[in-house]
């Protein structure tokens, strides 16, 4: 059994991962929150420091917030441990930290842990390259409490379709249109966000041309999808060599 530690154990995803560990091939060995009282129900698994958390497990799964995740990765740089990072909104600083830390430990970072989204990403790359004259528009919908926008998954999809056309996403991305903005440019890739209710997640990558269009959709109806994917990734990663891995590596895509 792979011993798993959860960083951000009282968050929605932390709790979801814990609820899905039974029968997975992994066991909860450590749980960490800034306020240990918030996870008192987890009893012996509660750890009051990162040192305790790291010493208790084979791999740490992180679904927290960006600032906390950066602290975790920084700590791991001098205390290597296999890390599965599902936190989004890490920015360039997070990317750089992950790359540095992966020299001394295995790290799998993904903006979305679902198999369906991994396949959506692959299909989007293929469509982007094959349909080179089609306009690309990406939309995402999430619950009202999501703090980052666009979603990390939407940005991953946008990066993939841009790279398939040898485009720099930073130069072609549009994240809003208002007023007399003029006609759409050929290489423009829009990434638009909607927020409301308790929507777990919906992503659409559309390819639009005169007379026809294709839309690729993925809808998550339960957070258990992401929890099961993260657990699978943790089990797979636990004994890997130091390197930065992707969810595609884990799923063999």
218 is catalytic: no
Q: How far apart are CA 253 and CA 235, in angstroms?
A: 17
Closest CA to 90 of 101, 78, 106, 103: 101
Token output for 15: 């709790």
CA nearest neighbour of 12 among 69, 87, 67: 87
Q: Cα–Cα distance between 32 and 39 in angstroms, integer?
A: 8
**Crossing angle of helices 66-78/91-101, nearest 10°?**
20
- Gap between the Cα atoms of 98 and 115, Å rounded: 22
Three-class DSSP category at 193: strand
Query: Choosing from 47, 81, 125, 142, which is the catalytic residue?
Result: 142
Query: Choosing from 3, 12, 146, 240, which is the catalytic residue?
Result: 146
CA distance 119 to 139: 17
Known active-site residue 122: no
**What distance in Å separates the CA atoms of residue 65 and residue 92, rounded to the nearest whole number?**
15
Residues identified as active-site = 142, 146
């Amino acid at each position: 059994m792979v011993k798993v530690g959860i960083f951000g154990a009282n968050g929605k995803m932390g709790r979801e991962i814990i609820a899905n560990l039974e029968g997975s091939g992994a066991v909860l060995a450590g749980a960490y929150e800034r306020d240990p009282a918030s996870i008192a129900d987890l009893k012996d698994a509660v750890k009051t420091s990162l040192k305790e958390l790291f010493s208790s497990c084979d791999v740490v799964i992180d679904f927290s917030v960006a600032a906390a995740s950066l602290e975790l990765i920084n700590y791991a740089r001098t205390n290597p441990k296999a890390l599965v990072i599902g936190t989004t909104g890490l920015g360039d600083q997070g990317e750089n930290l992950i790359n540095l830390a992966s020299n001394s430990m295995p790290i799998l970072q993904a903006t979305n842990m679902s198999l369906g989204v991994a396949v959506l990403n692959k299909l989007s790359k293929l469509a982007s390259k094959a349909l080179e004259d089609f306009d690309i528009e990406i939309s995402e919908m999430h619950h009202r409490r999501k703090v980052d926008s666009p979603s990390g998954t939407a940005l991953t999809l946008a990066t993939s379709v841009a790279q398939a056309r040898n485009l720099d996403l930073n130069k072609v991305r549009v994240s809003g249109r208002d007023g007399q903005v003029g006609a759409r440019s050929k290489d423009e890739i829009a990434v638009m966000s909607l927020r409301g209710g308790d929507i777990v997640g919906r992503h659409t990558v559309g390819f639009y041309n005169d007379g026809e269009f294709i839309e690729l959709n993925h809808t998550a109806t339960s957070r258990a999808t992401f929890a099961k994917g993260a657990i699978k990734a943790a089990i797979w990663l636990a004994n890997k060599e130091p390197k930065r891995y992707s969810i595609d590596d884990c799923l063999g895509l």
